[in-house]
Amino acid sequence: MLTGGCLCGGVRFEITGEIGSPSFCHCLQCRRASGSAFATNAGISAADFHLRAGADLVREYESSPGQFRAFCSRCGSPVYSRRRDHPELFTITDGLPQLERGDA
């Protein structure tokens, strides 16, 4: 199991299943959302993603038709993204989850 959360700590989650291999996206949307030259993302099963705190802080933005990016409304950290046509899958930013032993 992995745990993770946003920068301010208001949103906390657990991932109980496998995380897919990382992918590096250089599209304009990902560059803008990450504030970097690329975003490092990984796919997970939506059923394996569990919000443990801060559900009231999570907001979704439809960044393109059918593509939703969730973020913490307090600090702006990304939480997950999802697609309307694939509700069983989430994408997370690889920097969010930590091993159970905590941050490095």
Chain CA centroid to CA 91, Å: 6
For the full predicted model, state whether its pTM sits above 0.75. yes
Give the residue extent of every domain in the chain. Answer: 2-98
What single DSSP character describes residue 73? Answer: T
Contact 50, 75 (CB under 8 A): no
Q: What's the average model confidence in pLDDT over 70-93?
A: 95
Tell me how far apart the alpha carbons of residues 50 and 43 are, in angstroms, rounded to a whole number.
15
67 vs 34, residue with greater confidence: 67
Q: Which CATH class is domain 2-98?
A: mainly beta
Q: What is the pLDDT of residues 5-57, one digit of tens each?
A: 999 999 999 999 999 998 999 989 888 888 889 988 999 999 999 999 999 99
